[in-house]
Amino acid sequence: MIKVYRGELLHFLADPAKVALQESYQHIEDGLLIIKDGLVEQVGEASELLPLLDDGIEVIHYENGLMMPGFIDTHVHYPQTEMIASYGEQLLEWLQNYTFPFERQFSDLEHGKKIAEFFLTQLLDAGTTTALVFGTVHKESVEAFFTIAQQKKLRMICGKVLMDQNCPDYLSDTAQTGYEDSKALIEKWHKTDRLQYAITPRFAPTCSTEQLNKAGQLLAENPSVYLHTHISENTNEIAWVSELFPDSKGYLDVYDQSNLLGRRSVFAHGVHLHDHECKRLGETESSIAFCPSSNLFLGSGLFNLKQAQKYDVNVGYGTDIGAGTTFSMLSTLNEGYKTQQLRAEKLSPFQSFYLATLGGARALDLEGTIGNFTKGAEADFIFLDYHATPLMDRRMHHCKDLSEKLFTLSMLGDERHVKATHIMGERVQTAIAVTT
Ligand SMILES: O=c1[nH]c(=O)c2nc[nH]c2[nH]1
Ligand SMILES: [Zn+2]
């Protein structure tokens, strides 16, 4: 089945930090996106492609806005949806006081499904079409999440949390049960439709060496699954890791010793990484999820994007709900820009939108599958409306070029500007779309 969309179009072909800017993206003022059976068939100038279409093919015209690939959220916790905006703590106290008690509810499959439904609708409203998602320690939490994501035909990655120490008994598994539950979930869900599994040790403090080693074993036995965890988010956390693992050479080394680094390994935060750790992430092709809204909310610190780029580490954006305070990738770009300003570093609008799309796909080792409009990619895309709010409308009238328009979208944009979200070429009904 052919679907055709017409309008202004942008997607990235390379990292603007690594090639000449003009080579990093394709921008077409009046473009056509042709989709066949849910996959990108062709993009190009409308004037060139329209005459080639078969008679009678409907062309859906999106005007006064921008079509681009759906956003990719490389780190988020669906069970923390309802505890967003919990006041006053930094990471370790926030986990004890709010997060752990809250995650207890996810032993209940039906509760998990209800929250997964709401969470995924929020993501789609925000224009996010793929995410790497934490469950809780309960296998039911992942069962619930994948059930709903499958119904919505989404490309989603999720995993059961592994934690067997320094956590309440009611949230604790063991190295062995964590291994067995994860293995069963991999067998049932990994590569089912568009779903993929991530082995998910919460972070070093809540995992024994035995558990981390079991995670490494499981990863070696299932090389196509992901590894998803946290690293170097908060200075007290880092000091605690060095007490807990006195034989390690540092935080990253704890994971490295258990063979957890690699092309499909995603480490959230990395706010306080040493150069040698960044170098090791780069040489193992591991990725970092940059989560600015969370890092500011928990007072964790200012991520050093330049350091990651220097060592060729793949970086994607993460909202990190519920330490992050927004589902919106546009708002997350805003926070990312300001984070870099506080480091006296410039984060260009092109770089921002690259990180939110193709950069995220690369961080998840999914280039060619999602993240741009390359032929054969899954046609998950969005339409951003330049005039959805009066303020954006006024500001846009003064924008002279694409760079300014992108910057305006990233500073003033949020869910209100995501006019349409498409999954495999089909528009999905989001909550925002219903009310406008
Ligand atoms: O932002 C975070 N959210 C969490 O749930 C978490 N667990 C460990 N480290 C964490 N950091
Ligand atoms: Zn997190």
Give strand pairing partners of 18.
Answer: none
Task: Choose one of 99, 104, 255 to mutate for the ligand 1 pocket test, by most ligand atoms within 8 angstroms of C-beta.
Answer: 99
Take atom 7 of ligand 1 and give the residue whose Cα is closest.
202
> If you measure from the C-alpha of residue 5 to the centroid of ligand 1, how many angstroms do you get, rounded to a whole number?
40
Task: Say yes or no: CB of residue 202 within 6 Å of ligand 1.
Answer: yes
- Is the dihedral angle over the CA atoms 210, 216, 222, 224 positive or is it negative? positive
Task: Say yes or no: CB of residue 75 within 6 Å of ligand 1.
Answer: no
Q: Where in the chain is the domain with CATH 3.20.20.140?
A: 71-327
Task: Say yes or no: CB of residue 228 within 6 Å of ligand 1.
Answer: no
**Residue type at position 269:** H
> If you measure from the C-alpha of residue 127 to the centroid of ligand 1, how many angstroms do you get, rounded to a whole number?
24
Task: Say yes or no: CB of residue 122 within 6 Å of ligand 1.
Answer: no
> If you measure from the C-alpha of residue 95 to the centroid of ligand 1, how many angstroms do you get, rounded to a whole number?
7
Q: Where in the chain is the domain with CATH 2.30.40.10?
A: 2-69+371-427
pLDDT in tens, the chain (436 residues): 999 999 999 999 999 999 999 999 999 999 999 999 999 999 999 999 999 999 999 999 999 999 999 999 999 999 999 999 999 999 999 999 999 999 999 999 999 999 999 999 999 999 999 999 999 999 999 999 999 999 999 999 999 999 999 999 999 999 999 999 999 999 999 999 999 999 999 999 999 999 999 999 999 999 999 999 999 999 999 999 999 999 999 999 999 999 999 999 999 999 999 999 999 999 999 999 999 999 999 999 999 999 999 999 999 999 999 999 999 999 999 999 999 999 999 999 999 999 999 999 999 999 999 999 999 999 999 999 999 999 999 999 999 999 999 999 999 999 999 999 999 999 997 655 444 3
Position 431 scores a pLDDT of 54
Measured CA to CA, the distance from residue 339 to residue 296 in angstroms comes to 8
> Which residues fall within 8 angstroms of residue 117, CB to CB, at 6 or more apart?
148
What's the start-to-end Cα distance of the chain, in Å?
28
How far, in Å, are 239, 242, 243, 270 from residue 247 at the CA level?
14, 8, 9, 21
- Dump the DSSP string for 386-404: TTSSHHHHHHHTT--SHHH
Report the CATH architecture of 71-327.
Alpha-Beta Barrel (3.20)
> If you measure from the C-alpha of residue 47 to the centroid of ligand 2, how many angstroms do you get, rounded to a whole number?
46
How far, in Å, are 276, 283, 308 from residue 279 at the CA level?
5, 6, 8
Provide ipTM, 2 decimals: 0.98
> Which residues fall within 8 angstroms of residue 151, CB to CB, at 6 or more apart?
none
Task: Choose one of 93, 202, 272 to mutate for the ligand 1 pocket test, by most ligand atoms within 8 angstroms of C-beta.
Answer: 202
* C-alpha 94, offset from chain centre: 22
Take atom 3 of ligand 1 and give the residue whose Cα is closest.
323
Take atom 2 of ligand 1 and give the residue whose Cα is closest.
323
> If you measure from the C-alpha of residue 22 to the centroid of ligand 2, how many angstroms do you get, rounded to a whole number?
34
Which three-class secondary structure string do you get for 279-319?
HHHHHCCCEEEECHHHHHHCCCCCCCHHHHHHCCCEEEECC
Identify residues whose C-beta is under 5 A from ligand 2, the ion: 268, 320
Task: Say yes or no: CB of residue 3 within 6 Å of ligand 1.
Answer: no
> If you measure from the C-alpha of residue 55 to the centroid of ligand 2, how many angstroms do you get, rounded to a whole number?
50
Task: Say yes or no: CB of residue 197 within 6 Å of ligand 1.
Answer: no
Position 432 scores a pLDDT of 53
Report the CATH architecture of 2-69+371-427.
Roll (2.30)
Ligand nearest to the CA of 79: 1
Position 318 scores a pLDDT of 99
> If you measure from the C-alpha of residue 208 to the centroid of ligand 1, how many angstroms do you get, rounded to a whole number?
17
Task: Say yes or no: CB of residue 286 within 6 Å of ligand 1.
Answer: no
Ligand 1 atom showing the smallest separation from residue 294 Cα: 1
> If you measure from the C-alpha of residue 223 to the centroid of ligand 2, how many angstroms do you get, rounded to a whole number?
23
Ligand nearest to the CA of 289: 2
Task: Choose one of 91, 104, 295 to mutate for the ligand 1 pocket test, by most ligand atoms within 8 angstroms of C-beta.
Answer: 91
Position 435 scores a pLDDT of 41
> If you measure from the C-alpha of residue 319 to the centroid of ligand 2, how many angstroms do you get, rounded to a whole number?
9
Task: Say yes or no: CB of residue 238 within 6 Å of ligand 1.
Answer: no
Take atom 1 of ligand 1 and give the residue whose Cα is closest.
323
Task: Say yes or no: CB of residue 103 within 6 Å of ligand 1.
Answer: no
Task: Say yes or no: CB of residue 294 within 6 Å of ligand 1.
Answer: yes
How far, in Å, are 38, 141, 215, 368, 436 from residue 159 at the CA level?
26, 9, 12, 23, 35
- At residue 145, the 3 state secondary structure works out as helix
